[in-house]
Structure 1
Amino acid sequence: MDSSDDKKIQLPENASLELPYNATPSTEPTSQRPPIDYTSVSAFFGSSARRFKSLWTRRFTLSLLAGQLVSLCITCTNVTTTELVNRHWDLSTTQNLFLYFSLFAVYTPYTMYRYGFVGWAKMVFRDGWKYVILAACDVEGNFMAVKAYQYTDLLSCMLLDAWAIPVCMFFSYLYMRKGYHWTQILGVFICITGLGLLVGSDELTKKDWVAAAKGKGDAFMVAGATLYGFTNATEEFFVRRRPLYEVVGQLGMWGTLICGAQAAGLEHRGMVTATWDGATIGLILAYTAALFILYTVAPLLYRMASSAYYNLSLLSSDWYGLIIGLGLYHYSPFWLYFVAFALVLIGLITYFWSSTPEEQGELDPKAPDYVNTRGAREETV
């Protein structure tokens, strides 16, 4: 085979997203948890200790760290958005346009390089409509969440945003037919309890504000959270079957078109009157960089663990918001914040008490691999 043949990977004529669930081969062996021994008290505690030790595999540790990285990225976007609003720069759709364009500019050319332009065009023609739906839901989910903060109070936003977790788990079950162990449900409950303590801390320290139109804002947040849950589960479904650069590149390309059209229609006057000074541009760059990292790491986390785990990890973002707020906004730490953060971490560990990341993300080795037109296995990230 000529060395130039390795540079581009062509899609087969029948390639599409309609592949069996277990289409991408696992890179790690299945790792079963040690059983719990209930024959005696000492046996129970000993076997529980072995089970806890078995949690800390390389993949679980990376999943935990990746989850906290995306949580920190969310915190950075919240801080930069707050600073932009304080500077009377409130163009939420235009703000997200820079994100989608950056994803498009980085990942789409690389996808073209991997597939060749003809192979890329065939993929877009065949599967583009699915990515249009994914991108549209992602754009509108971001738009509705920002709108919700303008109308309802912070307490409602934080509580209703957690609706994305059961929505994500529901669609993940529809797509992949993987049931949830009771320890996973318990882990979700513990994480949401931690969220409740965070909300209670904000209420006790009077960090909330009066809602301008509570019903309207709550409806926006429920709709946004529903779209978030749907897009997270759908993107996980895609990245378990397609290379990550294809999925993220398509999300960026169609997101740029949809978000650009929406910004032109809703914010064209604001673009002209807005202040585009150095500080504003710096905040936009920081916002875009944080979300670029998030949109790059999230698909990796979907593969290492799951989209449900990704959503649970985001619940710790308020903790990082407190740390940043200590310096920027002179927040006073409330003791419940520490308990809440500990509960979120305990919930994340409990989520994998019985089901390992390898088992959640493991794909059937008997399923067909991706192949290019020359018969070589398709490379996945």
Structure 2
Amino acid sequence: MCEPKKTWKSRFAFLKDPKFLKVLFLGQLLSLCITGTNVTTTKLGNDYNFAAPTTQTFLVYACLALVYNSFAIYKRGIRGWLLQFWRRGIYYFILGLIDVEGNYFVVKSYQYTSLLSAMLLDCWSTPVCMILSFLFLKVRYKWVQYVGVFIALCGLGMLVGSDVMTDKNYAAADAVKGDLFCLLGATLYGFSNVGEEIMARKHPLYEVIGMFTFFATFINFVQLMILERSEFASFVNQGEAIAMVIVYTCCMFVLYSLAPVMFRLGSAVLYNLSLLTSDFYGLIFGLGLFGYKVTFLYPIAYVVIIIGIAIYHIFPAPEPAMGTFTKEVALKEKNDLFGVKPDDPEQGRRASSVMENVPERIPADDAKMKDETA
């Protein structure tokens, strides 16, 4: 029998779905974190002439690695933590390298290209995520998802247009170099986001965050010593600049901690769409800190971006073919890590004695169940 045709009322029923509201709220919280990093980076550049992206992100990776690896040792024991390195270390090393260089090239591009170009080119990470999700996660989008992405990007275009009207766009020192840096950084962001989504759907979040930031910390430190030794030396003597970096670190810590949760509840594409509103929040801070002016396009653009995110959900958001981190996946992942065979209950009990109690995962269609954040 043919399924009954859905009405438009049923199509928009998702607006009352707690899962959608949760994803929307989480996306805007992450967007506020991005705004915090942009504001502190702008203050560091304008007030302290500090432009050292590798130095700036070193503390972020170090704090994340310390916290989440400590938690992983607590949950899995030293043996389980070492097994993570042995079994999957190469993947996390690649993920950490991509993330470090993505951060470096995007921040570096602002020194060479115009603000207008950087904002537009940085959006390239969204279509990169869609392409990679199509190829590696086997996500098959419907036409409405493409429309939603297009509308959200139009909203960003309105924000950029408003910036041009208020003359916030500054001249480019080396437009070609800056644009290439920004495109490269945005592409690496796309690879990093999708790679992190793949790992988050297969392994606990404390492992994913802890492992890739562990490698990123050492990669970042080596790059800092090679490229930014002089900047680091001048930075440690400026107390106020250090305070700005601490605020930046706190924002990034929250961002990196919650982004994988967003990848499970939504996707890397939805994560990037949600971050498009950060320029609107940046205006609110910029009114007092940088003397920005409000134009009528800003609130309109914000609404357009939110509408684009909502339209992305009119049809059920596509689920990757690999599924997500369910209770069954968590149990299989635990057994695979410790080499436990399904038909060996005694060995399974011994492994469980050094493993975490795996919490229930929220089925995608049951919004009433408890959130899985492990």
Pick closer, same or farther for the CA change 1:89–1:345 going to 2, 3 Å: same
Give the aligned partner of residue 279 of structure 1. 240
Stretch of structure 1 that moved more, 216-225 or 171-180: 171-180
Matched residues in 2 for 1:325 and 1:338: separation?
Answer: 15
The 5 Å alignment of 1:150-189 reads 150-189=111-150
Matched residues in 1 for 2:72 and 2:203: separation?
Answer: 11
The 5 Å alignment of 1:15-164 reads 35-36=5-6, 47-86=7-46, 87-164=48-125
Matched residues in 1 for 2:139 and 2:275: separation?
Answer: 22
Pick closer, same or farther for the CA change 1:228–1:359 going to 2, 3 Å: closer
1:357 shift after superposition = 7.8
Contact 2:102–2:188 (8 Å) recurs in 1: yes
Give the aligned partner of residue 173 of structure 2. 212
The 5 Å alignment of 1:291-310 reads 291-310=252-271
Contact 1:34–1:50 (8 Å) recurs in 2: no
Q: Which residue of 208, 212, 215 maps to 1:254?
A: 215
Secondary structure, aligned partner of 1:150: coil
Secondary structure, aligned partner of 2:223: helix
- CA deviations on 1:281-322 (whole Å, 9 max, x unpaired) are 211110000000000110000001101000000100000001
RMSD of the alignment, in Å? 2.2
AA matched with 1:288 = T
Pick closer, same or farther for the CA change 1:339–1:109 going to 2, 3 Å: same
- CA deviations on 1:161-188 (whole Å, 9 max, x unpaired) are 1110011111112222120011110000
Pick closer, same or farther for the CA change 1:271–1:111 going to 2, 3 Å: same
Matched residues in 1 for 2:16 and 2:321: separation?
Answer: 15
How does the TM-score come out when normalised to structure 1?
A: 0.84
Across the two proteins, how many residue pairs are aligned to each other?
339
Q: Would you say 1:199 and 2:160 are equivalent positions?
A: yes
Contact 2:35–2:282 (8 Å) recurs in 1: yes
1:147 shift after superposition = 1.1
Matched residues in 2 for 1:328 and 1:364: separation?
Answer: 42
Stretch of structure 1 that moved more, 310-319 or 277-286: 277-286
1:56 shift after superposition = 2.3
- CA deviations on 1:212-251 (whole Å, 9 max, x unpaired) are 0000000000000000001001100100000000000012
Gaps of 5+ in 2: 341-347, 360-371
- CA deviations on 1:183-222 (whole Å, 9 max, x unpaired) are 1100000001001111111112111011000000000000
AA matched with 2:180 = A
Pick closer, same or farther for the CA change 1:238–1:363 going to 2, 3 Å: closer
1:277 shift after superposition = 3.2
Matched residues in 2 for 1:189 and 1:206: separation?
Answer: 26
Give the aligned partner of residue 30 of structure 1. none
Q: Which residue of 337, 343, 361 maps to 2:304?
A: 343
Percent sequence identity over matched residues? 43
Secondary structure, aligned partner of 1:116: helix
Q: Which residue of 222, 226, 230 maps to 1:269?
A: 230
Gaps of 5+ in 1: 1-32, 37-46
Task: Between the two structures, name the one with larger relative contact order (CA 8 Å, sep ≥ 6).
Answer: 1
Give the aligned partner of residue 199 of structure 2. 238
Secondary structure, aligned partner of 2:49: coil
1:160 shift after superposition = 0.6
1:63 shift after superposition = 0.3
Stretch of structure 1 that moved more, 268-277 or 202-211: 268-277
AA matched with 1:194 = G
Matched residues in 2 for 1:301 and 1:366: separation?
Answer: 18
Q: Which residue of 281, 287, 290 maps to 1:329?
A: 290
Contact 1:304–1:358 (8 Å) recurs in 2: no
1:156 shift after superposition = 0.6
Contact 1:191–1:345 (8 Å) recurs in 2: yes
Pick closer, same or farther for the CA change 1:150–1:51 going to 2, 3 Å: same
Secondary structure, aligned partner of 2:110: helix
Matched residues in 2 for 1:319 and 1:220: separation?
Answer: 24
Pick closer, same or farther for the CA change 1:265–1:364 going to 2, 3 Å: closer
Secondary structure, aligned partner of 1:151: coil
Pick closer, same or farther for the CA change 1:359–1:233 going to 2, 3 Å: closer
